[in-house]
Amino acid sequence: MAGYQLSKKQIVQEIIKCGKDPTHFINNYVKISHPLEGQIPFKTFDFQADLLEDFNDYRFNIVLKARQLGISTIVAAYVAWMMVFHRDKNILVIATKFGTATNLVKKVKSMIKNLPDWIRIAEVSIDNRASFELSNGSQIKASSTSGDAGRSEALSLLVVDEAAHVEGLDELWTGLYPTLSTGGRCIALSTPNGVGNWFHQTYSDSETQSNDFHPTVLPWDVHPDRDKQWFDKETRNMSRRQIAQELECNFNTSGESVIHPEDISNMEEYTICEPKYKTGFDRNLWIWEPYQTGGSYVLVADVARGDGRDHSAFHVINVDTMEQVAEYQGKPNLEMYASLLSQTGREYGECLVVVENNNIGFSVLEKLTNEYEYPNLYYSVKSTHEYVEQVIAEHQSNTVAGFTTSMKTRPLIIAKLEEFVRNQLITLRSVRLVNELRTFIWNNGRAQAMRGYNDDLTMSIAIACWVKDTALTTNKRAMEYNKAFISSMISTKTSLNTTIPGQKGYKEVKKGDKIKERQQFEWLYKG
């Protein structure tokens, strides 16, 4: 419609219609920038029109989207409609980068400035690079994701662009939510970026109606111009993770998790199960398999830092089958934890107990040694981290009790965990552990838990894999060598006397003496 074609009455009617219906307004009057054609009319697709209705119908909207669907543009158009046809609206845009938020503000400004004069009932009165204000009092600004963004303002609308990529958004949301208490709205939109972050949690909760957000998922194929041929061409040089993140709206295979999401899904489907029983003073000791006579076990423990934010945790692994048979996660004091470790270790045949020897870990090890006199603790050489049996280590000055997680050993044990999971060399039963693995990610080259999550179960199972593949394997080989060596000695049909017939000192060894000699050697093997 053109202004000169309408009467004054028609103009008023059209303004009223646009004020009630953002889709009508956008499809008839909003223009967007095209890289080749310049300013062109914005014609919404069906999924974009549906989204506009959701923005109008629900206070809180969360949009899980594929890239290149024009969602940021449709949000900008909705914001333009809100500012033009409503007085005194205060709108804040935040994004993973300040420049991204600023670009959305610029889109809104461009749309308003390119409206027909007769329908632009409010003009830009204050114009800055990252903000502007209309003559009707409505204003918009871009903000960084600093801790005080928007805290002092009452917001009409909060737009969070690429929300899954905004670091620390959980804390930021805590400060921003009260600014919406007077009826303000929120639109959070993003491609997925792994699990455990604010966007993933909020979207997941919205699906079960556990929060106020209305969820919308928009994968690549909602666009009417996209088909399999387009998909094949677009994904030709993309990794599986990129495809999941940027096109398929798949949380589980997006992000940078240390353990591949497909491996986690396999564990969820095939190995995770409820424990046979839960025991311990706090019922946090889960048992899947009690001690089996003749079985070989190892207990690997992580000790909480002591600040109350993480847990003490341990796993018991059947070394022969590499199956998780027991697990603990809780917040006991040092005395209770040491007692639980000693008791559990003895219940599993006085198995090897490996305790991470951080500052507080040493206190637990001291109690296990002196107070509980546990006979089978893990020791290692200080310089090489090589495993040493307790009976030997106690008489050496260059050994230390427990496992030392350092800049040298940490990447090694994490790599070993990934290898064991990837190659299905270990069977994990615990849903607590698998949930931790979901949020165990690479961050600037370092494997660690996502912000707000713990990795105590993850690190202790990583140490278990390392101990199995290094210390226990090496020890087993040494024992097999000693066994073979001793067996060859005690099974020989000749005397160990090295003299030969005719030589001085030579004497014939009787059969009874051979048996006695064999018995004398057997203590070596048994020891």
Decide: 111 and 120 in contact? Cβ < 8 Å.
Answer: no
Between 71 and 390, name the one with better pLDDT.
71
Contacting residues for 187 by C-beta, under 8 A, at least 6 apart: 55, 61, 63, 75, 78, 157, 158, 159, 160
**Averaged pLDDT, 275-284:** 94
Phi and psi of 52, rounded to 5°? Answer: -60, -40
**Averaged pLDDT, 349-371:** 93
* Cα 314 from Cα 303, distance rounded (Å): 9
Between 527 and 263, name the one with better pLDDT.
263
Q: Which of 48, 50, 44 is nearest to 29 (CA)?
A: 44
Q: Which of 464, 428, 421, 425 is nearest to 288 (CA)?
A: 428
* Cα 459 from Cα 462, distance rounded (Å): 5
Residue 148 has a pLDDT of: 57
**Averaged pLDDT, 333-338:** 94
Q: What share of the chain is helix, strand, coil (3-state, %, to 5)?
A: 45, 20, 40
Question: Quick one: pLDDT band at residue 522, thresholds 50, 70, 90?
Answer: very low
pLDDT > 50? residue 524: no
Between 510 and 165, name the one with better pLDDT.
165
pTM: 0.57
Decide: 311 and 456 in contact? Cβ < 8 Å.
Answer: yes
- Count CB atoms within 10 A of the CB of residue 477: 10
Question: Quick one: pLDDT band at residue 495, thresholds 50, 70, 90?
Answer: very low
Tokens 């809180």 belong to residue: 60
pLDDT tens sequence across 379-432: 988 877 788 888 888 888 889 999 999 888 888 899 899 999 999 999 999 999
pLDDT > 90? residue 79: yes
2, exposed or middle or buried, with CB in 10 Å at 0-12, 13-18, 19+? exposed
pLDDT > 80? residue 482: no
Question: If phi over 0 gives left and psi between -120 and 50 gives alpha, with beta otherwise, what is residue 410?
Answer: alpha
pLDDT > 60? residue 527: no
Question: Quick one: pLDDT band at residue 510, thresholds 50, 70, 90?
Answer: low
**Averaged pLDDT, 97-123:** 93
Residue 130 has a pLDDT of: 92
Mean pLDDT, the chain, whole residue set? 86
Give me 284's structure tokens: 């946090």
Question: Quick one: pLDDT band at residue 496, thresholds 50, 70, 90?
Answer: very low
Residue 39 has a pLDDT of: 86
pLDDT > 70? residue 124: yes
Query: Span 261-473: which CATH code?
Result: 3.30.420.240
* Cα 239 from Cα 260, distance rounded (Å): 13
Between 269 and 476, name the one with better pLDDT.
269
Residue ranges in 439-526 assigned as alpha helix (H): 456-467, 473-490, 511-526
Q: Which has the minimum average pLDDT: 8-22, 171-185, 320-334, 442-456?
A: 442-456
Distances (CA, A) of 323 to 268, 343, 399, 465, 474: 15, 20, 30, 11, 20
pLDDT > 50? residue 157: yes
Residue 485 has a pLDDT of: 47
* Cα 510 from Cα 424, distance rounded (Å): 55
E-strand ranges in 163-309 read 185-190, 213-218, 277-279, 285-287, 297-302
**Averaged pLDDT, 489-493:** 48
Residue 523 has a pLDDT of: 38
| Residue intervals in the chain for CATH 3.40.50.300 | 3-248
Distances (CA, A) of 7 to 16, 119, 393: 14, 13, 98
Residue 486 has a pLDDT of: 47
Spacing of C-alpha 426 from chain mean position: 20
Residue 526 has a pLDDT of: 38
| Residue intervals in the chain for CATH 3.30.420.240 | 261-473
Residue 462 has a pLDDT of: 96
SS3 470: helix
pLDDT tens sequence across 203-243: 988 988 889 999 999 999 999 999 999 999 998 888 777 88
In the chain the first and final C-alpha atoms are separated, in Å, by: 97
Fold of 3-248: Rossmann fold (3.40.50)
pLDDT tens sequence across 378-388: 998 887 778 88
Residue 507 has a pLDDT of: 55
**Averaged pLDDT, 283-291:** 97
Phi and psi of 458, rounded to 5°? Answer: -65, -45
Decide: 147 and 139 in contact? Cβ < 8 Å.
Answer: no
Distances (CA, A) of 363 to 269, 281, 389, 400, 502: 39, 21, 20, 13, 65
Residue 350 has a pLDDT of: 96
Phi and psi of 289, rounded to 5°? Answer: -145, 120
